[in-house]
Structure 1
């Protein structure tokens, strides 16, 4: 079997609510979902999800190759782009292609990917996380109530700008999940919105009022010293890694003892997750992939010995994708369909009229101009040229 070509599709996920974090919100609740189809000369097609704008540049590394040689092809793609580097869009493209290769490999074996990767159990423990920053307190309680009904005993709450609001919402979610556990796991994600000058003070302020399981991305993703300072000063674990795009980015954090829960971005692919998991395992650390549409990395999570929990962001799937899995019993129950278990209904995708809004200027992919430069968490954000860094300071 040989790889012969690829096709790109674009569908959307309809969340039914505003989604985002402290950096911005998609008010429409509609986000784009790029789909990559990897074709072979024997009629099998591999499915990869995630942004892949550089596919025209990376695909020649795979053309005419045997798709079963997945890990070798992953390194081949990295080697193919080594002069320009493998960050950002390039790494996302490699991740989507890698996902499609693993899908093909398992389809060739006529088994679900979790079996191909050696997992013994189809169940993947998870925690609920809805990008729920824009919801009101009442909407937040209602939202996590549906997860409690599905057996979840852990959840993530987005915050970082208003500590009192964050504490109130964390405690409200805790109360909702107590139907399944006396001490639910609470994850607190501030999405790099704090500076090193304030991270310890703010983290301790929250911890004084909430029993946190972990605090996520308290400072910039590459800030080893900042993460290490926070990790040494608080009781909860520090979690980070979803935005790192290579093992070389993880080593300094892990070697410094700056992270307690090692995260990976699901959009970076299966091989990336497996390699980061091995690195974390060598440091006696657990690994946790962040959520993504259709939860493709859950197959890999089921196969590694140090998987802790997988982030699950919604109870529905993107338009035109049928996914062989169930969200139940506090996690993901993977099915028996070959590969990733994702069927693509191209006619349904072509017929949908909605357009994704993730990349709008105010969306959560845009870092606010004063992120990390506030002296008080409640100080209002301002546009460039008008920011007043001392506004809101209590004397």
Structure 2
């Protein structure tokens, strides 16, 4: 059966003819633990599952995008993507918002957030990559960049499974590599252990290096209030996820009571969920994740709302995508540096003087490596490649 395609006029110059979906499992060299592991809510993380989408058109243009899942969910994303992929065949790749809506309706009974829209995100990001490549522009420039580089901070060196001395060594190495800030995990059952660890890191870095902490939603409201007051003396750039991700009112009360900025948002899976934070003034810094909220189309909607509310931006994870989106945000943002994904791609991002730089490569500027192909668990193709 030929998929339904809405009428298109002479302005349609190209059509989607081919899609390749790949389920890729990235193994982590060391099991990773944050506060969710120490409180018994999760097991250490040993791998990250990716859904890659490659899209091609009749005119020979191609794009690539991805979504991901930590712990459970990767096979589900791949399965949902397989079901909805035929809906793209024959569509104009420029009509990205229209295609996003079509894909949502293709799986409307499973909702407009969570696993279903995270699967859609991989298609959406691939189409934006294709559009920028066809224009011969980096994605940031296609969107309209406010800057060619973005402040960056490292997270991967500060997890709770890492001994404090190693955290200090990791921080030194990150700064030597040109990264501008350091984030460490907190939220241990014993808050005094967090304070000892943080004291060591701040003394090691000095007062001038931006320092952030992340509690990964493991404090209740009274604990967050007590810890927030105790953390004021460290001059933190922000306290991240001090409370449950959906506790907008709790975050609002905490943010109003502290001098230290409060950041949250990474675990939310739609623009609507982020709007709850924004309308309650629940975050000084919002941390959306484009693959989690449905892709770049949805991220741009959220960015406009955040700008309207005069909120700062620090997108979560996936720096290969978020560098471009942060570069296009009006207020000076931050991008999170993780080196975990580097084996998946042939290219590397340039970092110097505390900033991550947008390259001149068109689109996202990434291509899949042979290692990524070797880690591929399943492949599904729709249509025919020109």
Q: TM-score range by the shorter chain?
A: 0.7 to 0.9
Q: Determine the C-alpha separation between the residues in 1 that align with 2:341 and 2:347.
A: 7
Deviation digits for residues 37-81 of structure 1, max 9, x if unmatched? 223223333211213321123324422111122233223333443
Structure 2 counterpart of 1:157: 184
**Are the counterparts in 1 of residues 25 and 376 from structure 2 also a CA contact under 8 Å?**
no
Deviation digits for residues 207-266 of structure 1, max 9, x if unmatched? 3x4222211111111112211221122221111111222222122322222111111014
Q: Secondary structure at the match of 1:322?
A: coil
**Are the counterparts in 2 of residues 212 and 236 from structure 1 also a CA contact under 8 Å?**
yes
Residues 320, 198 of structure 1: alpha-carbon distance in 2 compared, 3 angstrom cutoff: closer
Q: Does 1:312 align with 2:337?
A: yes
Deviation digits for residues 361-390 of structure 1, max 9, x if unmatched? xxxxxxxxxxxxxxxxxxxxxxxxxxxxxx
Higher helix share: 2
Q: Does 1:132 align with 2:156?
A: no
Give the alignment of 1:120-199 within 5 angstroms.
121-130=147-156, 132-161=159-188, 162-178=190-206, 182-199=207-224
Structure 2 counterpart of 1:63: 89
Q: How many residues align?
A: 348
Residues 312, 190 of structure 1: alpha-carbon distance in 2 compared, 3 angstrom cutoff: same
Shift of 1:20: 3.3
- Specify every segment of 5 or more residues in structure 1 that has no aligned partner in the other structure, as ranges: 355-395
Q: Does 1:35 align with 2:52?
A: yes
- 2:325 corresponds, among 287, 291, 300, to 300
Structure 2 counterpart of 1:384: none
Structure 1 counterpart of 2:276: 252
- Specify every segment of 5 or more residues in structure 2 that has no aligned partner in the other structure, as ranges: 1-13, 69-76, 378-386
Structure 1 counterpart of 2:263: 239
Structure 1 counterpart of 2:132: 106
- 2:372 corresponds, among 345, 349, 363, to 349
Q: Secondary structure at the match of 1:298?
A: helix
Q: Secondary structure at the match of 1:277?
A: helix
Q: Does 1:281 align with 2:298?
A: no
Q: Determine the C-alpha separation between the residues in 1 that align with 2:44 and 2:246.
A: 29
Q: Determine the C-alpha separation between the residues in 2 that align with 1:254 and 1:62.
A: 33
RMSD: 2.6
Shift of 1:353: 9.3
TM-score, normalised with respect to structure 1? 0.80
Give the alignment of 1:42-121 within 5 angstroms.
42-51=59-68, 52-53=77-78, 54-119=80-145, 121=147
Residues 57, 122 of structure 1: alpha-carbon distance in 2 compared, 3 angstrom cutoff: same
TM-score, normalised with respect to structure 2? 0.82
Shift of 1:320: 4.2
